[in-house]
Structure 1
Amino acid sequence: MLGTALGALALGVALGACSPTFDWRTVMNNDNGYTVDFPAKPGNDQRPVQINGTPMQMAMQSAEAGHAVFAVGTLMLPDDSDATQRAALDFLRAGLARNVGAAPDAHPVQIPLAAGGKTPGLEMKVSGVAGAKHETRTVYARLVAHGRHVYQAAIIADQALPQDQLDQFFSSFQLY
C-alpha cells in the first residue's frame, strides 16, 4: 500500500517537471497536527496501510514543483505506545527505501514543535531506481512519532534540488 502512495508521488515527479516554479505557502493541518511550507498548493489523499497486521489510514498532503514531489504523510495510530510508534516508523523507513531499492539507512534528527522545543525523529536520504521506467529517484525524508501520530515528511526528486528548497520544506515542518 505504501508503494502505491509512493508510486503516485513518483508519477507526480514526472508531472512536476512541467511546473518548475516554487511558490511557497505555509499550510497548517489542524486535523493531523502539523504545519509545513509547500512549494505549491497541496492536494490531499488517503490510503489504507497495514502495519504488523493492524489496518491504519495514511493521510497524505502533497505538492509538485521543480522536478519533485513534496509530501507529508500522517498515520493515526491505534495507541501511543513506544512499540506501536517504533513499528510504524520502521514500516515507513523500510517502505521509502524499498521503493528505490536502497538500504533503509537513517540517522537521528530533532523535529521542531510549534509550541517550542523539539522531539526526536529520523532523517534519511536514499537514491535508486523506481517505477516501471526504472528512473533514478532521490528520497529525502524525516520521520517522527508524536503521540498517536507518525509523520513522514518527504521529498521525492528525479534530479538534485537546491539546498535552500530542501531547507525551506524541512525547517518549516513543525508538530503541534
Structure 2
Amino acid sequence: MRPSTVRALLRALLLVPIILAGALLAGCNPPYNWRDYTSDDGRFKALFPAKPAALARTVDVGGLQVEMTMTAAKVDGTTFAVGTAVAPDPARAQAALPAMRLALLRNIGAPDAATPGDSRVDATGAVHGAPMHLSGRFEAKGSRFYQVIVLGPAGKTPPEQVEQFLTSFSSF
C-alpha cells in the first residue's frame, strides 16, 4: 500500500470516532428534561419534563366555584399538569374529585367507566377529531384538592414518562 493511501486511511479512521461522538451528543438533547418543582405556596411538588408555567382562574367543579391554579409543561404536544384548588371544607374537596374526573373525560369525549372512589383515570378520546389519551390521578388533603394529568396525542407519549410524572407528585 502506498504511504499516501495509508495516511488517508488513518485520517478516515481518526474521523470515525469524532463523527460518532457528534452523533451521540446530538442525541443527548432529550425532549424530557426532568426537573423538581415545588409550588409557590409549598403545597405540592412534582417532577416536570420541562420548565412549567402556572396560571390561575375561576372554574366550576361540580357546582363549586373555586380558583384553580394549573401548573403545566408541554413536551412534543403532550401536556403534563397539576391543578390545585381549595374547597370550603374537606367533604367538598372529596366531592370535587369525581367532578374533575368527569369534566376531563368529557373534554376528550371519553366515557367514564370508573368505579366509585377510583382516584386514577386512563382513557382515550378525541379532540377536534385527533385521538387523545388522558392519564391522571386525583387526591384531596383537607380542603385542598388536586388533579395530576397527562394529556396528549394517543400513542405518542412513552408510558414510562407518564408514570414518572404521575408518581412523582406529592402534596403536603
Q: Shared topology, TM-score over 0.5?
A: yes
Q: CA deviation at 1:33?
A: 1.1
Pick the aligned partner of 2:148 from 153, 156, 164. 153
RMSD: 2.2
1:55-134 matches, within 5 Å, as 55-81=65-91, 84-106=92-114, 122-130=119-127, 133-134=128-129
Query: Structure 1 or 2: larger strand share?
Result: 1
Matched residue SS, 1:50: strand
Q: CA deviation at 1:107?
A: 5.7
Query: Structure 1 or 2: larger helix share?
Result: 2
Closer, same or farther: CA 126–33 of 1 in aligned 2, 3 Å? same
**Contact 1:58/1:75, CA 8 A, preserved across alignment:** yes
* Amino acid in structure 2 at the alignment position of 1:122: S
Cα separation, 2, equivalents of 1:62 and 1:52: 22
* Amino acid in structure 2 at the alignment position of 1:36: A
Cα separation, 2, equivalents of 1:104 and 1:145: 20
Q: CA deviation at 1:91?
A: 1.2
Cα separation, 2, equivalents of 1:87 and 1:93: 11
**Contact 1:38/1:63, CA 8 A, preserved across alignment:** yes
Cα separation, 2, equivalents of 1:52 and 1:95: 9
Cα separation, 1, equivalents of 2:62 and 2:163: 33
Figure out how many residues of one structure are paired with residues of the other and give that number.
Answer: 143
Cα separation, 2, equivalents of 1:32 and 1:47: 19
Task: Structure 1: state its 5+ residue gaps.
Answer: 1-18, 109-119
Q: What residue is the counterpart of 1:136 in the other structure?
A: 131
Q: CA deviation at 1:49?
A: 1.4
Q: CA deviation at 1:164?
A: 1.7
TM-score (norm 1): 0.74
* Amino acid in structure 2 at the alignment position of 1:171: T
**Contact 1:79/1:148, CA 8 A, preserved across alignment:** yes
**Are residues 1:162 and 2:155 paired?**
no
Cα separation, 1, equivalents of 2:102 and 2:55: 21
Closer, same or farther: CA 121–53 of 1 in aligned 2, 3 Å? closer
Q: CA deviation at 1:166?
A: 1.3
Find the structure with the greater CA-based Rg. 2
Q: CA deviation at 1:90?
A: 1.7
Closer, same or farther: CA 121–85 of 1 in aligned 2, 3 Å? farther
What percent identity do the matched residue pairs reach?
A: 31
Q: CA deviation at 1:79?
A: 1.3
Q: Which has the higher contact order (CA 8 A, sep 6+)?
A: 1
